[in-house]
Chains A and B, each alone.
Chain A
Amino acid sequence: MQWWCFAQQEAWTWTWRPLLGVWIGVVLLVLVYRRLVRGACADTESHQTTRWRRVAFGLGVFLLWASLDWPLGPLGAGYLASVHMSQFLAVGVAAPALLLLSLPPKAFDSLLTRPRTLSTFEGITSPLSAFFIFNIGMTVTHWPGVVDSLMPTQFGSFLLDVAWFAGGLIFWWPVIAPVPRRPGFHPLGKIAYLALNAFLIRPPFAMMIFSEHPIYSIYELAPPPGGDALNDQQFAGAIMKIGTAWILFVGVVVVFKRWVHAEKAAERLGA
């Protein structure tokens, strides 16, 4: 029984292989979500909002499951860098945003009753820290030596996925989560934060696009459908850049709409 996908360097087969760790992770996520939202949204939010949050949660969980389980999990772990990069978009960028959005504001309140945890969160999820943690994490977890060393083992591959997911949660936290409160982080600041990250050129992207030869040995030496490793790598670089920018652009639109909505609500209250 295999727990997590990893680079096995053996010929690809379309025979279904369950990845038990992914299924357990999904079940745990659902249980944690149910615990967090129990009673947190029914009183204060409309039925429509509650439904929207459930959709966001379902989509976030689906993205995690689909990108980590067979066949995308093993394909990305050991055969195609482009699939690996699509997994990064799902696990490290899109799913964390959806899962944070799926939580009602009251679900974050439990943090307020834990001063030490709140203080740690304040430090880690400040926009500046989140910016550096996400970008350094993204660079390190895509560095050829790190990828080639970690991907051939289940634990190493799991570690990379966890690092992506944790990095994504930290990145989105100051934009989405209402706790810790950051009155100084104006919506315009959030838009600038997202836009900066969308346009930033990170070293792994440059290496993938401009390198003369494949930079990841696991994909270069992968049996078919590995194929042309350099083309695949350049495609992966494009997915990383365009995909991340596109998701962050959606984030910018959501932040802007929420801002306008909040301003209008404030005006109505003032009138």
Chain B
Amino acid sequence: MSRHSDIIALVTLVGISVAACGVPAEGGNLGQLRGWVMDTPIPKPDLTLTDTNGETFDLRAESDGYLTLVFFGYTYCPDVCPVHMANLGKVFGDLLPEVRDRTKVVFVSTDPERDTPERLRSWLDNFDPAFIGLRGSLDDINAALSSMMLPGVAVIPGEHGSEPLIGHPAAVLAFSPDGLARVRYPFGIRQSDWAHDLPLLVQGF
């Protein structure tokens, strides 16, 4: 098995284990969702990082009242991150303005050394210029991941001089406008699922 396979297996395992914490959506508005509803809602982490303009970004304050989709990944990611962001970006661009204007997509880099602000901005612009890119210390990021009951960042050294790979959660967390994440979207979620769920998520519960 190649290293990339190892990483995909690791990330998928994380995704599955994360997804396994929840159950398919049932009951009420949640029952209509295609994401995985968690047994216990997760509060938005108290996380202050730096955005791609070099300005301080307080996640709770800046995204208060918005549907906030938070994903932890890195721009050198060979598989999960570009796929997740491309699918999300495609749907995000086609959302009705009343849904789009009430949604924020936040990408937190798990590779702050290599993900310079310029690189992060340029990479996110491939998907949607409205996507927010954040950088910070790995300690802060790991603390935030821990508070959301997600596994921390794992750096896997590159073989034969190749770039290192970064293990990170494969799920996107959807924080409702009330600041609680009740649903996770593991890798494998499709554009049709996003298009179905985002308008429902914006309405809140």
Q: Which residues of A contact B (CB under 8 A)?
A: 8-11, 13, 212-214, 217, 220-224, 226-230
**CA of A212 to CA of B191, assembled, Å:** 9
User: Quick one: closest B residue to A214, CB to CB?
Assistant: B191
| Contact (Cβ within 8 A) A9 B195 | no
Does B119 sit within 8 A of A, measured CB to CB? Answer: no
Residues in A whose Cβ lies below 8 Å from that of B79: 9-11, 223
Question: Is there an interface contact between B2 and A10, defined as CB atoms closer than 8 Å?
Answer: yes
**Interface contact B86-A227, CB-CB below 8 Å:** yes
B83 A226 Cβ-Cβ under 8 A: yes
B9 to chain A, nearest CB (A): 10
Q: Which residues of A contact B158 (CB under 8 A)?
A: none
Of the A-B pairs whose beta carbons lie under 8 Å apart in the complex, a sample of 9, sorted by A's number, is A11-B4, A212-B192, A217-B188, A220-B87, A223-B79, A227-B86, A229-B87, A229-B90, A230-B90
Count chain B residues whose beta carbon lies closer than 8 angstroms to a beta carbon of A.
18
For the complex, give the distance between the alpha carbons of A210 and B86 in Å: 20
Q: Which 6 A-B pairs have the closest CB atoms?
A: A11-B78, A223-B79, A213-B192, A213-B191, A10-B4, A11-B4
- In the bound complex, what is the Cα–Cα distance between A8 and B5 (angstroms)? 9
Separation in Å of the B73 CB from the closest CB of chain A? 13
In the complex, chain B residues 1-57 whose Cβ is within 8 Å of any chain A Cβ: 2, 4-5, 8
Partner of A220, one of B82, B190, B195: B190
B190's partner among A8, A217, A223, A224 (CB-CB below 8 A) is A217
| Cα-based distance from A39 to B191 in the complex (angstroms) | 58
Shortest distance between the CB of B78 and any CB in chain A (Å): 3
B187 at interface (Cβ–Cβ under 8 A)? yes
B94 to chain A, nearest CB (A): 8
Q: Given A9-B8, A10-B2, A11-B4: A222 and B83 within 8 A (CB)?
A: yes
The answer to whether B191 touches A228, judged by C-beta atoms less than 8 angstroms apart, is no
Determine the distance from Cα of A240 to Cα of B136 in the docked complex, in whole angstroms: 48
| Distance in angstroms between the alpha carbons of A180 and B154 in the assembled complex | 66
Complex: A143 Cα to B4 Cα, angstroms: 29
Contact A223 B191 (CB under 8 A): no
A residues in contact with B195, CB < 8 Å: 212-213
A204 to B192, CA, bound (A): 18
Q: Other CB < 8 Å A-B pairs besides A212-B195, A220-B190, A223-B80, 15 of them? A: A8-B5, A9-B79, A10-B8, A10-B78, A212-B192, A213-B195, A217-B188, A217-B190, A221-B83, A221-B188, A221-B190, A228-B86, A228-B90, A229-B87, A230-B191
Contacts of B90 in A (CB 8 A): 228-230
What's the nearest-Cβ distance from chain B to residue A71, in Å? 16
Residue of B at shortest CB range from A231? B90
Q: Which of B2, B78, B87, B192 contacts A223 (CB 8 A)?
A: B78
Across-interface contacts of A212 in B (CB, < 8 A): 192, 195
